[in-house]
Amino acid sequence: MEQAVESVFTKEILTNAAAQFGITVDEKPVGEFENYLFKGKLADGTDRILRLTHSSHRSKEEIEAELKFLKYARENGANAAGSLTSLNGNLVEVQHASDGTSFYASMFEWADGQLVDRTNPAVWNDDLMYTWGKTIGKLHALTVDYPVTNLREHWDEEAYLNEMLADEELGIFTKDLIEEIQAYERKKDSYGLIHSDLHLHNFFVNDKGEITAFDFDDLQYNYFISDIAIVLYYTAWGSKASFEEKSKFAKRQLEIFRKGYETEYVLDEEWYSRIPSFLKCRDLTLYHVLNMKYEEKTQRVIELCEELKERIVNKKTIIEL
């Protein structure tokens, strides 16, 4: 979390927010990258997640738009941790900070299960890939007829990506890639509100192999294929295998993923040939995030930035499909 946000976040803000949603919370957050996340409980012991978002990150209206879509998706069969209302019946409650800014509180269902252990073949297998595909396919099927809102940004309005345009070395590569993707047609059967970040750390899998997706904070208008590219990207990102081994695995992963995905939704074949563009797009945004979030970079972060930059300059992708 940015230092300016940390300096105005207080125990009182957390306590008041929890009271508005009728829960008690652990004081130690379970997440604090772009939002503060706290595990909490209702009076009957039911687990919940309380999220506090600073006004520098999202507006109240943007968050409400996210939560309304999530509520709609959950009510229509999506495997996701749904958004819940406060004791006052609101999806978002406002907490004012000492510097005049605000924190926006929201509450979610607790996702059963745990993060995927890639070293465990009982979990990290074809069944997971199939279910992962089915989960995203269902979300895409639901977004097709969801009413359009101007309260969630389009992919090319994203700050991280646009700030890369000003980069002295990488700005030209950013501009070329944005223009390439902007040329793709925007039709409701392939472009709409998507999760945009449903990687391995944004869902839990339970002992039955069922997935529950969460963290819809990056919900945006984007091409459906971007969600699929993200799956392939982050599977490769966390692997220590060689480029050839990662590429081979990604091809197999995509094959199984599509079988699950296409039980819920079918994309025209041409979109799969465009995956490399979206892999490159994630390189750009991740490069910016790493440079922005870490004022004092560890050797590992420095190495990651160099790896990203090398791919961007040479117009390469993290895997070859």
Query: DSSP secondary structure string, 25-61?
Result: E-SS-SB-SSSEEEEEE-TT--EEEEEEEETTT--HH
pLDDT digits (tens, 9 = 90+) for 150-208: 999 999 999 999 999 999 999 999 999 999 999 999 999 999 999 999 999 999 999 99
Question: Has residue 143 got a pLDDT over 80?
Answer: yes
Contacts 24+ apart (CB under 8 A), 4-9: 4/56, 5/54, 5/56, 8/97, 8/98, 8/99, 8/101, 9/36, 9/52, 9/54, 9/97, 9/103
For 94, list phi and psi in degrees, rounded to 5: -100, 135
Burial class (CB in 10 A: 0-12, 13-18, 19+), 190: middle
Mean pLDDT of 17-40: 94
Work out the percent of the chain whose per-residue pLDDT is above 90.
Answer: 92
Residue 293 confidence (pLDDT): 76
pLDDT digits (tens, 9 = 90+) for 224-233: 999 999 999 9
Any idea which fold 3-109 has? Phosphorylase Kinase; domain 1 (3.30.200)
CATH entry, 126-313, from 2.60.120.10, 1.10.238.10, 3.40.50.620, 3.90.1200.10 = 3.90.1200.10
List beta partners, residue 204. Answer: 212
pLDDT digits (tens, 9 = 90+) for 45-76: 999 999 999 999 999 999 999 999 999 999 99
In whole angstroms, what is the distance from residue 307 CA to residue 297 CA?
A: 14
In whole angstroms, what is the distance from residue 278 CA to residue 59 CA?
A: 27
pLDDT digits (tens, 9 = 90+) for 81-127: 999 999 999 999 999 999 999 999 999 999 999 999 999 999 999 99
Length reported for the chain: 321
The boundaries of every CATH 3.30.200.20 domain in the chain are: 3-109
What 8-state DSSP symbol labels residue 1?
Answer: -
Residue 3 confidence (pLDDT): 82
The pTM assigned to this predicted structure is 0.95
Task: Kindly report the average pLDDT of the chain as a whole number.
Answer: 95
The boundaries of every CATH 3.90.1200.10 domain in the chain are: 126-313
CB 211 within 8 A of CB 261: no
Residue 32 confidence (pLDDT): 84
Question: Has residue 294 got a pLDDT over 80?
Answer: no
In whole angstroms, what is the distance from residue 84 CA to residue 237 CA?
A: 33
Question: Has residue 44 got a pLDDT over 90?
Answer: yes
